Amino acid sequence: MEPTTPQEACFEAGIKFGTLYHQFAGTPVSPASAASLETAMEAAIENQPFCESVTVDVREEELAAELDGRSADYTELTGRFMEVEMRIDYEGSTVRTSMSMEGDYPRMRVEEVVE
Protein backbone atom coordinates (compact mmCIF):
# COMPACT_ATOMS: atom_id res chain seq x y z
CA MET A 1 0.00 0.00 0.00
CA GLU A 2 0.96 3.61 -0.38
CA PRO A 3 2.21 5.18 2.87
CA THR A 4 -0.16 7.19 5.07
CA THR A 5 0.67 10.75 6.05
CA PRO A 6 1.78 9.76 9.58
CA GLN A 7 3.99 7.03 8.11
CA GLU A 8 5.61 9.58 5.81
CA ALA A 9 6.07 11.88 8.80
CA CYS A 10 7.94 9.08 10.60
CA PHE A 11 10.09 8.49 7.51
CA GLU A 12 10.99 12.19 7.45
CA ALA A 13 11.88 12.03 11.15
CA GLY A 14 14.19 9.11 10.54
CA ILE A 15 15.97 10.93 7.71
CA LYS A 16 16.79 13.81 10.05
CA PHE A 17 18.21 11.46 12.70
CA GLY A 18 20.40 9.59 10.24
CA THR A 19 21.59 12.93 8.85
CA LEU A 20 22.40 14.40 12.24
CA TYR A 21 24.27 11.34 13.41
CA HIS A 22 26.34 10.57 10.34
CA GLN A 23 27.07 14.14 9.31
CA PHE A 24 28.59 14.98 12.67
CA ALA A 25 29.92 11.66 14.05
CA GLY A 26 33.69 11.87 14.01
CA THR A 27 33.85 15.62 14.64
CA PRO A 28 36.73 16.54 16.99
CA VAL A 29 35.03 17.61 20.23
CA SER A 30 36.06 18.68 23.73
CA PRO A 31 34.15 20.06 26.70
CA ALA A 32 35.16 23.56 25.51
CA SER A 33 33.86 23.15 21.97
CA ALA A 34 30.71 21.18 22.82
CA ALA A 35 28.36 24.17 23.03
CA SER A 36 29.22 25.54 19.58
CA LEU A 37 28.74 22.09 18.08
CA GLU A 38 25.30 21.71 19.70
CA THR A 39 24.20 25.03 18.23
CA ALA A 40 25.49 24.24 14.75
CA MET A 41 23.94 20.76 14.70
CA GLU A 42 20.55 22.14 15.70
CA ALA A 43 20.64 24.91 13.09
CA ALA A 44 21.90 22.59 10.34
CA ILE A 45 19.19 19.97 10.80
CA GLU A 46 16.43 22.56 11.23
CA ASN A 47 17.20 23.56 7.63
CA GLN A 48 15.77 20.28 6.43
CA PRO A 49 12.14 20.14 5.29
CA PHE A 50 9.42 19.54 7.93
CA CYS A 51 11.92 19.80 10.80
CA GLU A 52 10.32 22.11 13.37
CA SER A 53 12.82 21.86 16.21
CA VAL A 54 16.01 20.05 17.17
CA THR A 55 17.65 20.03 20.59
CA VAL A 56 21.14 18.55 20.92
CA ASP A 57 22.84 18.02 24.25
CA VAL A 58 26.52 17.14 23.93
CA ARG A 59 27.17 15.45 27.27
CA GLU A 60 30.14 17.34 28.60
CA GLU A 61 30.54 15.29 31.78
CA GLU A 62 30.68 12.11 29.68
CA LEU A 63 33.26 13.74 27.43
CA ALA A 64 35.34 14.78 30.43
CA ALA A 65 35.20 11.23 31.82
CA GLU A 66 36.31 9.80 28.46
CA LEU A 67 39.24 12.19 28.26
CA ASP A 68 40.44 11.58 31.81
CA GLY A 69 43.68 9.63 31.50
CA ARG A 70 43.84 9.78 27.72
CA SER A 71 46.74 11.11 25.71
CA ALA A 72 44.64 13.68 23.79
CA ASP A 73 42.40 16.42 25.20
CA TYR A 74 39.67 15.91 22.61
CA THR A 75 37.87 12.95 21.14
CA GLU A 76 35.48 12.21 18.25
CA LEU A 77 31.78 12.81 18.55
CA THR A 78 29.78 9.59 18.75
CA GLY A 79 26.40 8.54 20.08
CA ARG A 80 27.68 8.07 23.62
CA PHE A 81 28.26 11.80 23.88
CA MET A 82 24.92 13.17 22.71
CA GLU A 83 21.22 13.26 23.51
CA VAL A 84 18.84 14.58 20.89
CA GLU A 85 15.16 15.51 20.70
CA MET A 86 13.43 16.42 17.47
CA ARG A 87 9.95 17.40 16.30
CA ILE A 88 8.77 16.89 12.73
CA ASP A 89 5.61 18.48 11.35
CA TYR A 90 4.56 16.90 8.08
CA GLU A 91 1.25 17.74 6.42
CA GLY A 92 -0.64 17.88 9.68
CA SER A 93 1.09 14.97 11.42
CA THR A 94 3.50 15.73 14.26
CA VAL A 95 6.19 13.26 15.28
CA ARG A 96 8.30 13.59 18.41
CA THR A 97 11.55 11.60 18.44
CA SER A 98 14.62 11.21 20.62
CA MET A 99 18.04 9.61 20.78
CA SER A 100 19.79 8.46 23.93
CA MET A 101 21.93 5.53 25.00
CA GLU A 102 20.24 2.20 25.72
CA GLY A 103 23.03 0.15 27.25
CA ASP A 104 25.88 0.42 24.73
CA TYR A 105 23.71 1.45 21.76
CA PRO A 106 22.51 4.93 20.75
CA ARG A 107 18.79 4.25 20.37
CA MET A 108 16.68 6.48 18.13
CA ARG A 109 12.99 6.33 19.01
CA VAL A 110 9.62 7.65 17.89
CA GLU A 111 8.13 8.91 21.15
CA GLU A 112 4.75 10.11 19.89
CA VAL A 113 2.74 10.51 16.69
CA VAL A 114 -0.08 13.07 16.63
CA GLU A 115 -2.18 12.80 13.49
Q: List residues binding a second copy (CB under 8 A).
A: 1-4, 6-8, 10-23, 25-30, 32-33, 36-37, 39-49, 70-74, 76, 78, 95, 97, 103-105, 108, 110, 112-115
Residue 80 C-beta: closest distance to a second copy, Å: 11
Q: With CA atoms as reference, report the closest residue to 74 among 83, 82, 84, 64.
A: 64
Q: How far apart are CA 40 and CA 103, in angstroms?
A: 27
Give least dist CB 43 to a second copy, A.
4
Tell me which residue of 85, 81, 79 sits closest to 46, measured CA to CA.
85
Q: Please say which residue, 61 or 73, places its beta carbon nearer to a second copy.
A: 73
Nearer to a second copy, 23 or 53 (CB): 23
Nearer Cβ to a second copy (49/61): 49
CA distance 95 to 115: 9
DSSP bridge partners of 50: none
Q: Residue 98's CB: how many other CB atoms inside 10 A?
A: 16
**Minimum CB distance to a second copy, residue 60 (Å):** 13
In the complex, minimum distance from the CB of residue 91 to a second copy, in angstroms, rounded to a whole number = 13
